[in-house]
């Protein structure tokens, strides 16, 4: 007698996928993230519950879906700067902006 079991794993928040197709003689590529909506809904729910995520070295302030992070780096390249001072200033400015609100883990930063 053989027995099989199915194991379902949780999708990773950084699960990026790419669609590729031909359109008018050109190859079109589009990145998408199936878990993006779930990530943002989870962040909103935790924020509304007032949950704080303290870790030994600080506090988790933002959770950003990978697809959104890639888009943000194109708009605000200093977020990904190798220079710690530059990236810190860029993140502080971004976190104060209204554009960062969907990613905030709590009302207060």
Assigned token pair, 65: 């879906």
pLDDT in tens, 36-62: 888 888 888 888 887 776 666 666 788
pTM, two decimal places? 0.64
Average pLDDT over residues 8-31: 68
Rounded CA-CA distance 44/101 in Å is 9
Rounded CA-CA distance 107/8 in Å is 33
Assigned token pair, 79: 């977020």
Distances (CA, A) of 24 to 27, 28, 49: 8, 10, 49
H or E, element range at 62: none
In the chain, domain spans: 17-103
Model confidence at 23, pLDDT cuts 50, 70, 90, reads: confident
């Amino acid at each position: 007698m053989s027995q099989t079991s199915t194991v379902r794993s949780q999708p990773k928040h950084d699960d990026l996928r790419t669609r590729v197709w031909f359109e008018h003689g050109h190859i079109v590529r589009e990145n998408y993230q199936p878990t993006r909506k779930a990530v943002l809904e989870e962040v909103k729910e935790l924020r509304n519950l007032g949950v704080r995520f303290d870790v030994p070295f600080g506090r988790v302030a933002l959770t950003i879906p990978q697809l959104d992070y890639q888009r943000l780096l194109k708009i605000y390249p200093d977020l990904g700067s190798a220079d710690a001072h530059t990236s810190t200033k860029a993140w502080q400015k971004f976190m104060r902006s209204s554009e960062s609100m969907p990613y905030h883990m709590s009302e207060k930063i």
